[in-house]
Structures are given as structure tokens and as C-alpha cells.
A and B are shown apart, each in its own frame.
Chain A
Amino acid sequence: MSASTLKIALVGNPNCGKTALFNQLTGGRQKVANYAGVTVERKEGRFTAPSGRVLQLLDLPGTYSFEANSPDEQITRDVCAGNYPGEAPPDLIVCVADATNLRLHLRFVLEVKRLGRPVVLALNMMDTARQRGIVIDVPQLQERLGLPVVETIAVKRGGARALIERVDGEVPAAAPAQTDDAASRADLHAQVRELLAATVTMPRATAVIDDALDRWTLHSVFGLMILAVVMFLVFQAVYSIGKPMTDLIGDGFGWMGEHAAALMPAGPLQSLVTDGLFGGIGTVLGFLPEILVLFLFIIVLEESGYLPRAAFLLDRLMLSVGLTGRSFIPLLSSFACAIPGIMGTRSIQDPRDRLATILIAPLMTCSARLPVYALLIGAFIPTRRVLGVFNLQGVVLFALYLAGILGAMAVGWVMKHIRRDKSEHALLMELPSYRLPKVRDVAIGLYERGAIFMKRLTGVILGLTILMWFISTFPSPPAGATGPAIEYSFAGYIGRALQYVFAPIGFNWQISLALIPAFAARETAVAALATVYLVGGEASGLGQALAGQISLASALSLLVWFAYAPQCMSTLAVIRRETDSWRNVAISFGYMFVLAYAASFVVYQVASALA
């Protein structure tokens, strides 16, 4: 036995500090993947015990009960019971319980014990329990439970020593398996009460600090104000830290592309390297700083316990459009970029609510739309004062953001009414104790998110970027051609063909053509328009050229198109990854296309009639 690997499954209620314990035991040596066929995260790590034995640790999703309510709870139940396909049954289950919340957590310990497998109980957060004057008679608890009980402090260096020693020793004998029925389930609570009465003394049910903080953070007026300030600071950080880094990366890759180009003869190969390869990698990496800054804040807010408070404050509002309070943070992140927003929906356990949030997220006005808005508003909207105080350009920009939000609410409302599953999905959300986030846990969480983005999306985005480069470069213009090269390329042909589709909403072939690279990344629409209208990179020059070439109605229609238009391909790639379904990609792309087309059509026709 000692020579082979011991497989340990780590289970526990949500908020028991299980992930911190997992990080403490395995450090950075973790492998994050998904369980086959579902988008539930599977985290595995290894460590070597003092005896030299290799222990393989599987971090199972947090669970309140084996009466599973969500896919991740089902996985925990099936893996523990040893009947999850493709997953070997664990040799030992380590059940983690928060020592400050045993009334809730002990019930799950009893449920795990009934599986009839070897179990060790880790009483976590013992430091906090002592600070709060909670006294636990561990030997007595161990005897009554019939399980080995060890104390841990997951957030302290060496705080898992007792656990490591215990799991490195002999595997404890399993309790006899018990059947699971309604009567025996109800009995579990009675057993918990008995155990608590005999082994735990608690001066106070809650932490004083939690009560004090919640009085402010959940207050109906101050709570919302605090939330607004927190969100404002997050966005400031994304723009003042993330954005400059993104620009720096874009410029850096442009510079490297140019220098690489200088080393090779002009021609298609040079263009592939500069525009395709370096441009593509620059685009992919350009997303990274903003994603990391956003996730830094999301993880800190999550670890500190504030995120469920935000969900509490906004649940009613989100529910009215078919979402849940938990949808708020992913949707808010989508104002920076839909990619971290959609990745952030992993915090929504309910699959229906999660999918609804994913489908709506791209309607939030992401930062990539701003260059297009800036160009068109600058060229077509006069800088007039409205009502004496507001700048008309600012009003239009605000209206575009509002259009996205209202569109999202309308789509949510419609989805709520047409979906087949109209059953009540519960909020039932625990608001955990406030905690100071630990640097190690934040760093590991951030690394995981970054790695998911780089590993799983780079290939797709890079491939599509090169495809875009190909259709905009080939075939090369014939000898003696006078127009810009892109006009003679496949993209040029496609643009002219698309013109027939887009003529009713006021797009000429140049705009239709610019929509093709915009699908790779929206801000590139500006560069594409600059190319076809034969002007330099100067935005003001392009603005003047556009103002001379297209009507105000077309410009307004294009603005509205960008507010609702099908998301960029990177977003589609992340939807595919996160939902594991091409169908959802098709639904997402399809409904946004119809929405954008319909809205632009109305705007163009009305504006043309009024002009």
C-alpha cells in the first residue's frame, strides 16, 4: 500500500476553507480541467508526504448535501460514492468543516460517513474559532463520530501539519455504510444537536465583526452606495492599470512585427508575419492585462466574502429579467470585455441561470466598441449643448451604453418567458463570514484564470486571426490596380456580396467590408475603414472622409449595429469553451444578429425619412 499512490478526495460545505487547504497542501502543483462533458471544474494536485509516499488530492466542488441540487454537487456525490465514470473511487475522504459553523457543517460530515468509506475530519479555521471563544472537545468529538479528527488552519503556514501526518499514517477503518432515506436524513439533524451539546461551547453564534459590517454593507441605502463605490474603483483600475498595459502590448507586438518584417522581403510571407502572426498574438495577449486586473478584483471580492453581499443587494433586480443576483458581477465585468465576464459565470452554480447570463453578457458595451463609437460620434454628431449642460456627443455615447443595458434586460425578459424550464430556481445563498484574502490563494486563482485563457483560447483566436488576414490579403490586386489592395481580396468580394444584405440598414460595401475584420476584434473596424477610404491612420482625417461619404442615417445605423452586433469571435470561442456546446454559440450569434439588424433597420429607415 505504502508504495502506491493514495487517492484522497477533499470534500466539504462551500465556504469551509477547502480550497485554501488544497492550496496549502499542493502549492502550485495543481491541474485544473473540466469533468468530461460538463463545465464543472476538476482540480487535482499531488504532494509527497514525509514518509515519501505520493498523495494524490482531488478537490471536489463544495456541497451542502448529497441530495444534489446542481451538476457540481452531483459530481461530488458520485465521485465520493465511487460511481463516477472515469474517476477511480477515493482511498480516503478528507471532509473539511468550518470549526466556527459546525451546526451546518457537521450534518454533511455525518452524510459522508454514511457512505461507508474511510473518512478523516479536518476541523478548519481553528484559529478563528479560538478567537471567538469557541471551545471544541476534539477527543470527545472523535469518539462520538467514530472518525479521526484533526485540527487545521488552512491560511497559516504549517497549519495542515496534523492533517498530513494523519493521512500519511494508516488509512482509518470505514464506518458501515448506511442506507439513505427521508427518515434517516431527518435524523441527521438530531445527531448534530447531540454532538454539539456534548462537545462544543460557543459564547456567541456569530462574529461581532460580521454583524457590524453587514449592518452597513446590506443597508438599503448605504449598502447600494458602497456597492457603487466598489464597482467604480474596480472599473477605474481596469482602465488605469489594464488599458495602458493592453496598449503597450499591442504597440510592442506591432513594433516587433515591423522589425521582423524588415528582415524579410516584401510579399505575402512578410504580411503574414506582421499582420497575421504578430497582429494576432498581440490581439490575444492584449486581452490579458484587462482580464487579469478584473479577475484580481473579482477573486479578492470573492475571497473576502463581499461578492454574495452584492448578489443579495441586486437579486430582486436581476430576477425581474430572468437572472439571479449572482449574474451581476459577470455582467459588470462584461463592460470591460465579455470574455472575463463569461468566464466569471462559473460562480453561478445553477446551469439555467448561468446560460442566461452567458447569452446576455455580450450585450454589455465592452471597451473594444469605444474606438468605433468615438470615430462615428466625432464625425457625425455635432458638439452641441443639450438642455444647456450636456454635450450632445456625450449624450449619444450614454444612449449607446443604455441601449446595451436595456437590450440585455429585454432579452432576459423574453428568454424568461420563452424558455421551457419555467420552474422556480432558488437563490438560497449563504453569506459567509468576512475574511482577509490571502495572497497565495489570490495568486493561485489568478494564475488559473490566466492559464485557462492562454491555453484554451490562444489557438482558436490565433487561427481565426490568420484566416482573417488571409481573406483580406488574397488574391493580391492585379497589375495596375488603383484601389486599395483589400478591395481585390476575398474580403472585398465578401464585402460587396454582404452589401446586398446590409443595404436595407444603410451600409455601403466599404462598411460591409469593415464588418469582416470587426468580427475578429471590433476596434479593427476603424483600421479597416481607414484602409478602404485610403486615408492615413489619423482618426480625424478618417472622420472627415466618412462624413463626406456616408449619410447621417447610415452612421446612426452603424452605431446601433455595434451596440447589438454579434460578438467578436473571441467571445464566441469562450462561449463554446464555457458551455461546451456549438448550439449555444449559434443561438448567441443568431439572436444578436437579428437584434442588431432589426434595431439598425428601424434607426436607418426612421432617420432617412426624417432627413
Chain B
Amino acid sequence: MRLSELPKGSPAVVDRVDDAHASDPIAQRLRDLGFVDGEPLRVVAIGPMGGDPLLIQIGSTRFALRRAEAARVSVRVEVAA
């Protein structure tokens, strides 16, 4: 599932970040900011106009990402044991 499709509030875990094109600086920056395999995150807020941008809680940090940016992040929803 793409991070851009994740419903607000449901916890998920980062799978990987995909480059939208060759040497994509935005994808690289997302990885540098901690969007790496196994990192838990969730959508905490959604922008008031057209549902964009998204506010993502990852670790102790909150990042505002546009949907196009969030679409680069592949996430998996882990079923609570």
C-alpha cells in the first residue's frame, strides 16, 4: 500500500521508498529523514483543501508531505499480534 492511501490514524510500517524517476532527490530525502524499512508511522492530519498535504508522524517527528511525495513511500499495515 502507498502511504498516500493509508487512512488517517491507522498505524503502519515503512516498507521502502521508490524513486519516481532516476536519481529522485525527493525519494533520497525521504530516506534520509528516516523513511526506511521497519519504521512505524501513521497519518495524523489531512490538509483542509483537497485532502492535501498529509501530516505524517514518524518516530518523534511530524512531516507534512504532499500526496505526490507520500506516494513514493510503500507501507504495510501490520496486524496487531
Set of chain A residues within 8 Å of B52, measured between Cβ atoms: 315-316, 319
Binary B-proximity of A429-462 (CB < 8 A = 1, otherwise 0): 1110000000000000000000000000000000
Contact A315 B48, beta carbon cutoff 8 Å: no
Q: A514 to B49: give the CA distance in the assembly, Å.
A: 44
Q: In whole angstroms, how far apart are the Cα atoms of A428 and B29 in the complex?
A: 9
Scan residues 517-540 of chain A and give those whose CB is less than 8 A from a CB of chain B: none
Query: Which of A103, A211, A311, A427 contacts B69 (CB under 8 A)?
Result: A427
Q: Which of the candidate stretches A29-37, A64-72, A477-485, A581-589 sits at the interface with the other chain? A: A64-72
A312 to B47, Cβ gap below 8 A?
yes
List the B side residues contacting A102 at CB < 8 Å.
Answer: 60
Nearest Cβ in chain A — how far from B55, in angstroms?
Answer: 6
Is there a chain A Cβ closer than 8 Å to B1's Cβ? Answer: no
Contact check, B61 vs A316: say whether CB atoms are below 8 A apart. no
B22 to chain A: closest CB distance in Å?
Answer: 13
Count residues of chain B with CB under 8 A from any CB of chain A.
33
Contact status B61-A214, CB under 8 Å: no
B32 at the interface (CB under 8 A from A): yes
A67 & B29 in contact (Cβ 8 Å cutoff): yes
How many residues of chain A get a CB closer than 8 Å to chain B's CBs?
Answer: 42
Does B66 reach chain A (CB closer than 8 Å)?
yes
B53 to chain A, nearest CB (A): 5
Residue B77, interface by CB 8 Å: no
- Complex interface bits, B56-67 against A, C-beta within 8 A gives 1, otherwise 0: 010111111110
A223 contact set on B, CB distance < 8 A? 48
> Contact between A428 and B55 (Cβ–Cβ < 8 Å)?
no
* CA of A334 to CA of B36, assembled, Å: 41
User: How far, in angstroms, from A190 to B48 measured CA to CA in the complex?
Assistant: 36
- Residue contact B69 to A316, C-beta cutoff 8 Å: no
Q: A285 contacts the other chain (Cβ, under 8 Å)?
A: no
A2 beta carbon closer than 8 Å to chain B: no
Give A425's nearest chain B residue, CB to CB: B26
Q: How far is the CA of A325 from the CA of B54 in the complex (A)?
A: 13
Asked whether A424 lies within 8 Å of B60 as measured between CB atoms, the reply is: no
Q: Does A321 contact B (CB under 8 A)?
A: no
Q: Which of B32, B34, B62 contacts A103 (CB 8 A)?
A: B34
A427 touches B64 (CB 8 A): yes
Given A312-B55, A428-B26: A317 and B63 interface contact (C-beta under 8 Å) = no
Main secondary structure of the interface of B (DSSP, over half): mixed
A424→B53 contact, CB < 8 A: no
Residue from B31, B49, B57, B69 in contact with A426 in the complex, judged by beta carbons closer than 8 Å: B69
Q: Is A237 an interface residue (CB 8 A)?
A: no
Residue contact A64 to B57, C-beta cutoff 8 Å: no
CB contacts (< 8 Å) of A308 on chain B: these are: 64
Q: Counting CB contacts under 8 A, is A189 at the interface?
A: yes
Is A65 within 8 A of B32, CB to CB? Answer: yes
Tell me, in angstroms, the Cα distance from A206 to B53 when the chains sit together: 20
State which of A202, A206, A220 has its C-beta within 8 Å of the C-beta of B57.
Answer: A206
Contact with B along A207-230 (1 / 0, CB 8 A): 000110010001111011000000
A135: interface (CB < 8 Å): no
**Contacts of B15-55 to chain A: CB distance below 8 A:** 20, 25-26, 28-34, 36, 39, 44-50, 52-53, 55
The interface of chain A, by Cβ under 8 A from chain B, is 64-65, 67, 69, 100-104, 107, 185-186, 189, 202, 205-206, 210-211, 214, 218-221, 223-224, 308, 311-317, 319, 325, 424, 426-431
A-B pairs with beta carbons under 8 Å apart, 23 shown:
A64-B29, A64-B32, A64-B33, A67-B25, A67-B32, A101-B60, A103-B59, A104-B33, A214-B44, A219-B48, A220-B48, A315-B53, A316-B50, A424-B20, A426-B25, A426-B66, A426-B69, A427-B66, A427-B69, A428-B30, A428-B33, A428-B63, A430-B63
Q: Chain B residues in contact with chain A, CB under 8 A?
A: 20, 25-26, 28-34, 36, 39, 44-50, 52-53, 55, 57, 59-66, 68-69
Sample of 7 further A-B pairs with CB below 8 A, known A69-B29, A211-B44, A315-B66: A64-B32, A104-B33, A189-B39, A202-B60, A218-B45, A319-B66, A424-B68
